[in-house]
């Protein structure tokens, strides 16, 4: 975790990150490059277990830029936490992944998870997926800021899509 973030609480860390991420992506129109840097920045700032994107491709989510251990490459629509967030078009917060029916365990070390859909022109085009080894690591504060972060990336006028 970056030293500067160790004295901040969760909200302060997100508030500090948000303008930095906006600046980081502002000059780059390539969505993959921006997803890669956003995943890295979040992962470093919070010390999550796994932080990354899955991109919608046909009827599946396909693994995109991420930080952390290797992960499953394809997730069908409606499957797992990621496929559920895609299907619902809304954020899914899972305090205990072992209690989530259909959870896809890419790593046995993960105990809680948040998945935020990335929406462009009313369509889910990707999801931001974050896993923690802690139970109940994610709450409405994470949801509030991660939804903002996920969606600064893919404004239609800015991004080349994928
Ligand atoms: N747990 C996810 C799968 C992706 S990994 O966590 C990186 C799910 O249930 O969709």
Residue-wise pLDDT for 121-154, tens only, equals 889 999 999 999 999 999 999 999 999 999 887 6
**pLDDT in the model for residue 90:** 98
**pLDDT in the model for residue 162:** 60
Which ligand 1 atom is the nearest neighbour of the CA of 102? 9
Q: Is 71 in the pocket of ligand 1 (CB under 6 A)?
A: yes
**pLDDT in the model for residue 2:** 61
Which ligand 1 atom is the nearest neighbour of the CA of 54? 4
Kindly tell me if the per-residue pLDDT of 71 is higher than 80: yes
Q: Is 50 in the pocket of ligand 1 (CB under 6 A)?
A: yes
**pLDDT in the model for residue 151:** 85
**pLDDT in the model for residue 68:** 97
Report all structural domains of the chain as residue ranges with CATH numbers, in order of start: 10-154 (3.30.450.40)
Higher pLDDT, 117 or 156: 117
Which ligand 1 atom is the nearest neighbour of the CA of 84? 10
The pLDDT tens digits for 89-114 are 999 999 999 999 999 998 899 999 99
Which residues have CB under 8 Å from 52's CB, separation 6+? Answer: 35, 39, 63, 64, 65, 66, 67, 68, 71, 128, 129
Kindly tell me if the per-residue pLDDT of 29 is higher than 80: yes
**pLDDT in the model for residue 158:** 58
Rounded mean pLDDT, 37-44: 96
CA of 55: how far to CAs of 6, 14, 60, 64, in Å? 31, 23, 8, 6
Report the chain's mean pLDDT, rounded to a whole number.
92
**pLDDT in the model for residue 69:** 97
Q: Can you give the C-alpha Rg of the chain in angstroms? A: 15
Which H helix or E strand runs over 119? strand 112-120
Q: Is 55 in the pocket of ligand 1 (CB under 6 A)?
A: no
């Amino acid at each position: 975790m970056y030293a500067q973030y160790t004295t901040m609480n969760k909200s302060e860390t997100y508030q500090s990150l948000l303008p930095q991420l906006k600046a980081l992506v502002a000059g780059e129109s390539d969505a993959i490059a921006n997803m890669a840097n956003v995943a890295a920045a979040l992962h470093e700032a919070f010390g999550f277990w796994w932080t990354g994107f899955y991109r919608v491709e046909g009827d599946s989510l396909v693994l995109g830029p991420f930080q952390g251990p290797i992960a499953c490459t394809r997730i069908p629509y409606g499957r797992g936490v990621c496929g559920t967030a895609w299907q619902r078009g809304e954020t899914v917060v899972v305090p205990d992944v072992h209690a989530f029916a259909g959870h896809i365990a890419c790593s046995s070390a993960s105990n809680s998870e948040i998945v935020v859909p990335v929406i462009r022109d009313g369509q889910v085009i990707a999801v931001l997926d974050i896993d923690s080894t802690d139970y109940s690591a994610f709450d409405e504060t994470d949801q509030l800021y991660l939804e903002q972060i996920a969606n600064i990336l893919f404004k239609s006028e800015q991004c080349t899509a994928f």
